[in-house]
Copies of this chain bind each other. A is one copy, B any other.
């Protein structure tokens, strides 16, 4: 399917060429929350992504090194997806999205709770969460 064509050499444009659509960052979000997800897990998310779109986004994100597949320990029928380092490095961006949203939307309180945590010590949160995601990354 997807051949990545760069519109320009601008960092913002190049980034959007990869994950600049309505769905990709939601997949990344799910992986940041859950560390690893199956195909079915993504389908269960609140936004109700269509299965064909999910498949094409997962492929795109994998081709661009944001996520990887791995075997599910329990079953060959299942596939686990997780973030690569390149994907984990989207965490600061994800945090800023949340901080911006908190200023301009009214959010459910479980989400607000996390954002409040982040605001208390952004650097600390980033370090800790990055580490957690990386740890998960290493136990194959």
Let me know if B10 and A46 touch, CB within 8 A. Answer: yes
In the complex, whether A121 has a CB less than 8 A from a CB of chain B is no
Copies in the complex: 2
Contacts of A15 in B (CB 8 A): 97, 100-101, 105
Interface size on A, residues (CB 8 A): 42
Contact partner of A11 (CB less than 8 A), chosen from B46, B86, B97, is B97
Complex alpha-carbon distance, A91 and B94, angstroms: 13
Let me know if A107 and B12 touch, CB within 8 A. Answer: no
Name A64's closest neighbour in chain B (CB-CB): B104
A-B contact pairs, 19 of them (CB 8 A): A7-B22, A8-B46, A9-B107, A9-B111, A10-B111, A11-B98, A11-B101, A11-B105, A12-B26, A12-B98, A12-B101, A13-B26, A13-B46, A15-B100, A20-B22, A21-B21, A89-B100, A90-B100, A92-B100
